[in-house]
Amino acid sequence: MPKLDRDGVRLHYEVNGDGPPVLLTHGYSATCRMWDGQVQALKDRYRVITWDMRGHGESDYPDDPAAYSEAATVEDMSAILRACSVDKAVIGGLSLGGYMSLAFNLVHPEIVRALMLFDTGPGFKKNEARAAWNENARARADRLDREGLAALGSSDEVRMSKHRSAKGLAGAARGMLSQADARVINSLEHVAVPTLVLVGSEDKPFIAATDYMARKIPQATRVVIADAGHASNIHQPAAFNEAVGRFLDLHGVGG
């Protein structure tokens, strides 16, 4: 599988299929393996690009804490698209990957053909709420430092993933999972492309965030997947894939 060198940090990515390009970004502590079911469902009509964020999976785990940030992740996504000779793509992601997709659209709107935001949130307007989120992210990092990969737990997307050590995940929690400001949530009203906002019916922490994004994003389509939790694409793959395909067809993205 190809690796992309980004200033000394090698990023693992995979390309499957042919047609309009779709970049999918995984959630925190998962890897591109969480998208295997979507790759199989979409590759006959789309060029599906998946990757491992820095500190995850088969990508590098930099020692420098400054190597982990929202800005670095956004530019990692841009660099992977350039490596694939893609100048415009559907940008999608789950959880942290969804937040990073919104951050990508804020910085590189000219590259975004449509957005797909799965089981995610846009961040926080209030400093107090953001501080509480960041405190939790730091606590996760501290636990990874103490306990290693055993601290990850056994969620469905984590069980599908394989990491070489916990140090990269701790760095990602401190630098990528934590949030610095309200830029992303304040950008929702300015999103200028069709956007699928999807959540599992049992993903209670993210239902309110999904409703908020659906109200604020001008061209939003809201979908709730019944009997699915945070990893809605894994819990109900047929319903998830059908919703994604319907959205892409409706907005003329289909191959």
Q: Which domains does the chain have, with CATH numbers?
A: 3-250 (3.40.50.1820)
**Could you say which DSSP state residue 234 is in?**
H
Q: What is the per-residue pLDDT for 220?
A: 97
User: What pLDDT digit, counting tens, does each position of 178-225 carry?
Assistant: 999 999 999 999 999 999 999 999 999 999 999 999 999 999 999 999
- Cβ(115)–Cβ(91) below 8 Å: yes
- From CA 52, how far away is CA 41, in angstroms rounded? 20
Q: What is the pTM of this model?
A: 0.96
Q: Say yes or no to pLDDT of 254 above 60.
A: no
**CB pairs under 8 A, 24+ apart, for 127-134?**
130/179, 130/181, 130/182, 133/178, 133/179, 134/178, 134/179
- Cβ(100)–Cβ(26) below 8 Å: no
Report how far apart, in Å, the C-alpha atoms of 206 and of each of 21, 122, 199, 210, 212 are.
27, 10, 7, 6, 10
**Could you say which DSSP state residue 30 is in?**
-
Which residues on neighbouring strands pair with residue 221, listed in sequence order?
196
Which residues on neighbouring strands pair with residue 187, listed in sequence order?
none
